[in-house]
Amino acid sequence: MKTELQFDFTVNKETKTVTINRTFDAELDLVWDAFTKAEILDQWVAPKPWKSKTKYMNFEVGGKRFYAMVSPEGHERWSIQEYTSIMPKTNFKMYNTFADENEKPELPGSDWHYNFSEENGMTKVNISIYNESLERLERMIEMGFKEGFTATVNNLEQLLAKLSKK
Amino acid sequence: MLIALQAMTPNTIAENFNTTRQAVSKHLRILTECQLVKQEQQGREIYYSLEIDKMKEIDKWINELRKIWETRFNQLDDVLSILKTQKK
């Protein structure tokens, strides 16, 4: 079932943009909530065994989400997302920066655009991430996610086990 | 990628495409800044060649970033299916 869901991922070095398209087997309302509510975001946004911890989140224009990716050893890597534009259940934009635990941002950051659309009960999400520097893009990967990769296989196995039980 | 086969000058690269030496030089400058190509002065000409290892490195981290998103979205699939059953 998973394999039918569209997923494409492209990196354009010239425009310094990462573009991601993904279809989810759920209605728009639910998917929108999953991307815009802290309590749901924290459940999926960190690749296991990392955890996402949101200190606070005000999903409104000019509002912020201050959160950390927590490593299995308990290391916290903080980031700030500032919402720059919101059109409910259609799209939103944010500016993402790495930060320290005192909420001091490390500029420059990256611009994130999210677009949502529903078709036949499936929801398509388009994400484009513009990075001012490619170096930062490189850091996004180095920033702790390495352990996440090795865990990918485990996640998938758990997922498949869960699905086959249904 | 012509320069993967041999080091070339901006002029010879431009001859292989429908473009100017200036345009080629501009691209090469960016690639040099990213350390994807290296320059070598030979007399009056500068020869450019591809940094294969650096290219591989970039390819590797693009794949890693792709994997992060794949993992993330698989987790979201899970969360969504749980939320759906809760709603019913």
Q: Which pLDDT score, from 0 to 100, does residue B13 have?
A: 79
Which stretches of chain B drop beneath a pLDDT of 50?
Answer: none
Task: Give the Cα separation of A81 and A103 in Å (integer).
Answer: 11
The residue range of the domain holding A129 is 2-165
Q: Which pLDDT score, from 0 to 100, does residue A138 have?
A: 62
Phi, psi of A88 (to 5 degrees): -45, 130
The answer on B56 and B45 residing in a single domain is no
Q: Which pLDDT score, from 0 to 100, does residue B68 have?
A: 84
Concatenating the DSSP letter of every residue in B2-44 gives: GGGTS-B-HHHHHHHTTS-HHHHHHHHHHHHHTTSEEEEEETT
Number of domains in chain A: 1
Task: Give the Cα separation of B55 and B68 in Å (integer).
Answer: 20
Q: Which pLDDT score, from 0 to 100, does residue B17 have?
A: 77
The encoded tokens of residue A37 equal 């509510």
Whether residue B21 contacts residue B11, with contact meaning beta carbons closer than 8 Å, is answered with yes
The residue range of the domain holding B60 is 52-88
pLDDT tens digits along A37-46: 999 999 998 8
Which stretches of chain A drop beneath a pLDDT of 70?
Answer: 1-4, 133-166
The answer on B62 and B42 residing in a single domain is no
Number of domains in chain B: 2
ipTM rounded to 2 decimals: 0.72
**Which CATH number do you get for residue A13?**
3.30.530.20
Q: Which pLDDT score, from 0 to 100, does residue A165 have?
A: 47
Q: Which pLDDT score, from 0 to 100, does residue A15 have?
A: 78
Looking at the complex, report in whole angstroms how far the Cα of residue B26 sits from the nearest Cα belonging to chain A: 12
Q: Which pLDDT score, from 0 to 100, does residue A58 have?
A: 97
Residue in A34, A47, A162 closest to B80 by CB: A34
B84 and A43: CB-CB below 8 Å?
no
Whether residue A98 contacts residue A137, with contact meaning beta carbons closer than 8 Å, is answered with no
Selected for mutation to probe chain A from B58, B73, B82, B88 (highest A CB count within 10 Å) is B73
pTM: 0.70
The answer on B44 and B59 residing in a single domain is no
Q: Which residues of A12-49 are buried (b: 16+ CB within 10 A; e: fewer)?
A: eeeebbbbbebbbbbebebbbbbbbebebbbbbbbbbe
pLDDT tens digits along A58-82: 999 999 999 998 888 888 889 999 9
CB atoms within 10 A of CB B71: 25
